[in-house]
Amino acid sequence: MSLEFLVASAIAVLTSAGIWLTLRGRTFQVVLGLAMLSYAINVFLFAMGRLVIDKPPIWGKDVTEYADPLPQALVLTAIVIAFGMTALVVVLALRTFLETGTDQVDGLADVTADDDAA
Amino acid sequence: MNALIVAPIVLPAIVAALSVLARGRRQRVGAALSLAGCVGLLAIALALFAQASGGAVSVYTVGDWPAPFGIVLVLDRLSALMLLLNAGLALVVLVHALLTGVDRKGWHFHPLFQFLLTGLNGAFLTGDLFNLFVFFEVLLIASYGLMLHGQGAGRLKAGLQYVVINLVGSTLFLIGVGTLYGVTGTLNMADMGLRIAALPTGDRGLVQVGALLLTVVFALKAALLPLHLWLPRTYGGTSPVVAALFAIMTKVGVYAIIRTTTLIFGAQVTGPLMLPAAIASVVIGFVGVLAARGLREQAAFGVVGSTGTLLVAVALFEPRALAAGLYYLPHTTLTVALLFLVADLIARRRADHGDAITPGPRFASMGPIAVLYLLAGIALAGMPPLSGFIGKLLILKAALAHQAAPWIWAAILGTTLLAVIALARTGSTLFWKGRAGEMRHGAVSRLDLLPAVALVVLLGALTVGAGSVTGFMDAVAGQMFAPRGYIEAVLGQAAVR
């Protein structure tokens, strides 16, 4: 199996899992989905510099092929931002749950859970 | 003198960091810092405006790295205009917040406020696509905090949705930027514009994917239909003062659409999709104004409608229409901010009703507030004598030659009628259908009317000075549609040939 196929299918699986989870109704799943999506994006950005192995990361006059260092810098930035955002969403989701008593994203009361409790 | 370009980003960031330190009993120090920062920002914006209005494109290379490799900040007429609008609006809103004591309802109002300004100014100035993403995140993080300022269950619910939808937006932004970088090998906007023009036809499809993804993200920020659903709840759920400042945040989306389309992608990529969406948002926005049950909700739908009107002008993608839209841009920003401030004034004086559109007893300084609401209504609906009338007239005139002209005319004129009906009904419910009884409210001084009056004065100035303002907007649009000057300023003259 080629490296390209592995990376591409990893991005595909992560993205589809992320989209699926983001569309769920409860905040915890949505948070997980957002995290998955951000992982997928990190790998995607990384791959945008082309996949090369065992090459120097900086261009020089005697170098014909090199690994593009810029996407790695972009990924670093994206990781930091996504990490901060995920932390924020977790806190916000917890706070919303404590304040409204439901973890549904639309904030409406959770009917089935009440039925279970009864 | 080019280092002044970085000042609108650095100054609010420093002020924000300093005002974090001023808490508890020293809160007044933080407020004073924030106010001084806003005044300073306005002065800087005026200086930059004077520098750019002659048509020169000034470039600041961050860290002195040469252009396509390092990050550049670029000041042209459009960014100077947006900086000035932002600084002016921020000062007015901050004074309102200080007078009404909203900044003391929770922690860290001033740092968040200043960081939001940092992000906004950065987004208006940057000439690098990934840097634009970073500044979008800066302004979004600050806006999350501001939106939740004061808390409450309703605000948290709306806030969660706002945060989630913007995180998805950021993800799409990264996919778009990544795709474009993969194809062109650059992130500098000017450089990308050049390289896309020279691309083999096989790669055009990928560029289009990236361009459309980015436009979707910007349309999400600008609340273009069908991506507007988050806005009424968010703006209606947060405190009106914060919402008034957020009035400029939809304009960041519009600014980014104008910038990327004229500089990088060209009109053919997004134009055909954007015009119908813009017309639909005008209609939905003003239908929402008619249906709203609270003043904040009404103003929020006003944001959707008037930003839609602005995007109709932008989506035509020709200099005259863009100039008309650019005249409408400061008008709609100030008008919507005014509506939110008036909603706050009314809600503060009606303890039992809040901002709900229900008849109630007379309240303090009802007369002046009614006049302010009338003026805000006139401005939003686009009736003479205020600048909305001129703006809409210019847009209609510019659309005349376009094949979609009947749709545009019908949408804009029809929604004007809707807005007149809605605002007249709201006004008469609030101010005329009096009910007997005494309105309970705390001690409110008339002083808090000042910021709203200042906005009315600005709108008046926009109307009286319409001749010279439209002249300037023509120059702005001319510069946008001749990106050669921008590219030469960033990359040097050799790159263009």
pLDDT digits (tens, 9 = 90+) for B41-76: 999 999 999 998 888 888 998 888 887 888 999 999
Question: What amino acid is encoded at B248 in this protein?
Answer: I
The answer to whether the CB atoms of B168 and A74 lie below 8 A apart is no
Give A87 to chain B, closest Cα distance, Å: 12
Show which of residues 179-218 on chain B sit within 8 Å of chain A, judged by CB atoms.
179, 181-182, 187
* CA–CA dist B280, B404 (Å, integer): 13
Looking at residue B459, what is its pLDDT?
92
Does the pLDDT value for residue B171 go beyond 50? yes
Whether residue B179 and residue A48 make contact (CB cut-off 8 A), yes or no, is yes
ipTM value: 0.89
Chain B hits for A85, Cβ within 8 Å: 137, 141, 163, 167, 170
Give the pLDDT of residue A118. Answer: 43
Q: Model confidence over B177-188: pLDDT tens digits?
A: 999 999 988 899
Q: List all residues of chain B from 326 to 345 with a beta carbon under 8 Å from chain A.
A: none
Q: In this predicted structure, what is the pLDDT of residue B441? A: 60
Q: Is A94 helix (H, G, I), strand (E, B) or coil?
A: helix
- Encode pLDDT of B365-389 as tens digits: 888 888 999 999 999 998 888 888 9
The answer to whether residue B434 scores a pLDDT higher than 80 is no
Please give the share of chain B, as a percent, with pLDDT higher than 90: 47
- Determine contact: A14 vs chain B, CB below 8 A: no
Sequence-separated contacts (24+) of B135-139 with Cβ below 8 Å: B136/B170, B136/B173, B136/B221, B136/B252, B137/A81, B137/A85, B137/B170, B139/B115, B139/B249, B139/B252
Q: Which residues of A touch B181 (CB under 8 A)?
A: 48-49, 70-71, 74
* A79–chain B Cβ distance below 8 A for any pair: no
Give the pLDDT confidence score for residue B442 in this predicted structure.
60
Q: Where are the domains of chain B?
A: 2-496
Helix, strand, coil distribution of chain A in percent, nearest 5: 65, 0, 30
Write a three-state SS string for chain B. Answer: CHHHHHHHHHHHHHHHHHHHHCCHHHHHHHHHHHHHHHHHHHHHHHHHHHHHCCCCCEEEEHHHCCCCCCCEEEECHHHHHHHHHHHHHHHHHHHHHHHHCHHHCCCCHHHHHHHHHHHHHHHHHECEHHHHHHHHHHHHHHHHHHHCCCCCHHHHHHHHHHHHHHHHHHHHHHHHHHHHHHHHCCCEHHHHHHHHHCCCHHHHHHHHHHHHHHHHHHHHHCCCCCCCCHHHHHHHHCCHHHHHHHCCHHHHHHHHHHHHHHHHHCHHHHHHHHHHHHHHHHHHHHHHHHHCCEHHHHHHHHHHHHHHHHHHHHHCCCHHHHHHHHHHHHHHHHHHHHHHHHHHHHHHHCCCCCCECCCCCCCCCHHHHHHHHHHHHHHHHCCCCCHHHHHHHHHHHHHCCCCCHHHHHHHHHHHHHHHHHHHHHHHHHHHCCCCCCCCCCCCCCHHHHHHHHHHHHHHHHHHHCHHHHHHHHHHHHHHHCCCHHHHHHHHCHHHHC
Q: What is the pLDDT of residue B121?
A: 95
Contact call for A100 and B161, based on CB within 8 A: no
pLDDT at residue B1 tops 80: no
Q: Across the A/B interface, how many CB contacts are shorter than 8 Å?
A: 81
A86 to chain B: nearest residue by CA?
B167
Residue B196 has pLDDT above 50, yes or no: yes
**Predicted local distance difference test score (pLDDT) of residue B10:** 93
The answer to whether the CB atoms of A30 and B141 lie below 8 A apart is no
d(CA B468, CA B452): 24
What's the confidence (pLDDT) of residue A55? Answer: 79
**Does B497 score more than 70 pLDDT?**
no
Residues of A within 8 A of B174 (CB-CB) are 41, 44-45, 78
Residue carrying the six token digits 């686009």:
B382
Position B142 pLDDT exceeds 50: yes
In chain A, which residues have their Cβ closer than 8 Å to the Cβ of B137? 81, 85
pLDDT at B159: 85
> Is B174 in the A-facing interface, judged by CB distances under 8 Å?
yes
Confidence at B40, pLDDT banded by 50, 70, 90: very high
The pTM (predicted TM-score) of the whole model is 0.92
Interface contact A34-B153, CB threshold 8 A: no
Please indicate whether, in this complex, the C-beta atoms of A81 and B134 are within 8 angstroms of each other.
yes
Name the CATH topology of A3-117: Helix Hairpins (1.10.287)
| A8 interfacial to chain B (CB closer than 8 Å) | no
> What pLDDT shows up at residue B438?
66
Measured CA to CA, the distance from residue B218 to residue B375 in angstroms comes to 31
Choose among B397, B444, B349: nearest CA to B101: B444
Q: Could you state, in chain order, the average pLDDT of each consecutive group of 10 residues for chain A (118 residues)?
A: 89 95 89 92 88 78 80 89 90 86 75 51
Average pLDDT, chain B: 88
Nearest to B160 among A50, A70, A93 (CB): A93
pLDDT, residue B382, reads 86
pLDDT at B92: 94
B168 to chain A: which residues are within 8 Å by CB? Answer: 22, 34, 37
Of B10-14, B162-166, B347-351, where does mean pLDDT reach its minimum? B347-351
Mean pLDDT of B284-312: 91
The answer to whether A29 contacts chain B (CB < 8 Å) is no
Residue A10 touches partner B, C-beta closer than 8 Å: no
Minimum CA–CA partner of A74 in chain B: B130
Residue B440: predicted pLDDT:
61
